[in-house]
Structure 1
């Protein structure tokens, strides 16, 4: 950047000529990218976007923010870095919640990082924190699920989020999240999220350790499911858990879809198109049924899904 253009840009910002400043940022970044100086162009655009957003100029600042992503995308020699993730997160925090500019920046940056999974998951983590601060729990959950190392903070956010719903769904709320994480093969974040939630939720403060209260049966199911995966319990144990806890799991049909995926990822069940007759639990029972792993149906009948946790553990030990 020449001294003359630097002076013009400084004068435009100082005098409130923000449209002129925006055009100067675009012109200068175009010259830098034409010379292959993509990192310099990205840095310039980040500074410009920050300056305009701090002045409340969300459309102009958002335009420069998206130009920053475009400049970064042109750099084939230097892949995106952690600094890029930090810049996108910082710019999103300056933008209005729900604004088209923020949505555009979010979509473009995620698209750019698709070949870089570690950075992409870090960006999702940043977005999860941003939306948590704004109390936009739904979008925070969406991004935390897709991050890699946010188990503890994800659990704390879910404690807040769950208190907006019915007290009777304290266990379902967590179970759905853990199942979703397991479907993405995120076993460690799922475990950390589970134990963080159960140790900090106000409805569970009297519960020092598993087993959990019988009025929250899906907490016991999720605890045993995580244990079965970590301890490499056989397929028959997974089938048994699904049978014993079928009634509370039936509270949300999506549980069956998640469990089919989990059976394929962690218990070696071949991927097949589910038979919709009988619902997803009918499908999963048919998929999991094998001659050598057939279970005594009488043992499963009459079991109390919320209170019979000892029977589940003993049965699992017998099968191991």
Structure 2
């Protein structure tokens, strides 16, 4: 009997051998899982990953790593579960370059499964954010889509400070506003109802450079906050809220004189927080092409701190701040745009 030693025959035999090995490993993995042998399960998952990870089998491998990491993490196997989660990102990096849109939910789910406050979660998030923008030169802060999903995770965990950080880098202005209402109702003083949204709008404008997003957040906050629902606006009865609304109008109509009148008219209101003037300087540079002030060190030590903060906080490339249009949908009831007459700014 003649033996076929052609290259195609050898390749076919190698593939059959590989399938047999994989089948045996999968059977061994099932036994380990049934016996709740977490250590052996982790090792087998790793072995299967090393032997099978390829472009042709990427979806299959990613699905396996996802289920394996979730299983181990849900059974309090932090190190081994986080290791498989990192392998999930490694596989994406090797074969796709960056995290595709259809894998963002899985990445967010894995982040949620890794115990909060751990180095493993921090490492996973740092790598995921980096991978979410790897294909865009100059982008530095991570995909707004991923930031929104991470923010939602943290919000559910009541980690409001961390959630706010990520919402500011997302385009999910509606959920951001809803969280701010929740935080103020649970933790804020009544007289701070305007401070919570004002600072967030200023920072959102500096980071995302999108006045429509800021407008939708302001509107959602004012329409859903129980202390503001009875005060229909705009215009608003609370001076700082009214200033923020007028500020957004001045940006939308691109009228620098309107902006200057606002700053002068509302100076006593803005003096409540020395950072407001610095944010407004930055906003003027972004939206009105105003040159930076000659003496940016306002406030001495505070000025130095603010400038250092803003270098890291605001100087992201605009292309890094683009997300899906549907996440940036503005409020369906557009605000009326007033004339710039001085008496109407009260």
| TM-score, normalisation: structure 2 | 0.75
1:163-202 aligned at under 5 Å gives the runs: 163=185, 164-184=187-207, 185-202=209-226
Whether contact under 8 Å (1:38, 1:74) holds in the other structure is: no
Q: Alignment partner for residue 94 of structure 2, among 46, 67, 74?
A: 74
Q: How many residues align?
A: 284
Matched, 1:269 2:290: yes
Indicate how the Cα distance of structure 1 residues 249 and 32 shifts in structure 2: closer, same or farther if over 3 A, else same.
Answer: farther
- Give the Cα separation in 2 of the matches to 1:278 and 1:58: 46
Matched residue, 2:151: 128
Matched residue, 1:30: 50
Q: Alignment partner for residue 277 of structure 2, among 256, 263, 269?
A: 256
Matched, 1:217 2:236: no
SS of residue in 2 equivalent to 1:182: helix
SS of residue in 2 equivalent to 1:209: coil
- Give the Cα separation in 2 of the matches to 1:317 and 1:248: 16
Matched residue, 2:310: none
How far did residue 72 of structure 1 move?
0.9
How far did residue 132 of structure 1 move?
1.4
Higher RCO (CA-CA < 8 Å; seq separation 6+):
2
- Give the Cα separation in 1 of the matches to 2:48 and 2:93: 17
Whether contact under 8 Å (2:98, 2:132) holds in the other structure is: no
Whether contact under 8 Å (1:237, 1:316) holds in the other structure is: no
Indicate how the Cα distance of structure 1 residues 199 and 3 shifts in structure 2: closer, same or farther if over 3 A, else same.
Answer: same
How far did residue 90 of structure 1 move?
1.0
Matched residue, 2:179: 157
Whether contact under 8 Å (1:89, 1:126) holds in the other structure is: yes
Matched, 1:101 2:124: no
**Structure 1: 5+ residue stretches without partners:** 282-310
How far did residue 105 of structure 1 move?
1.3
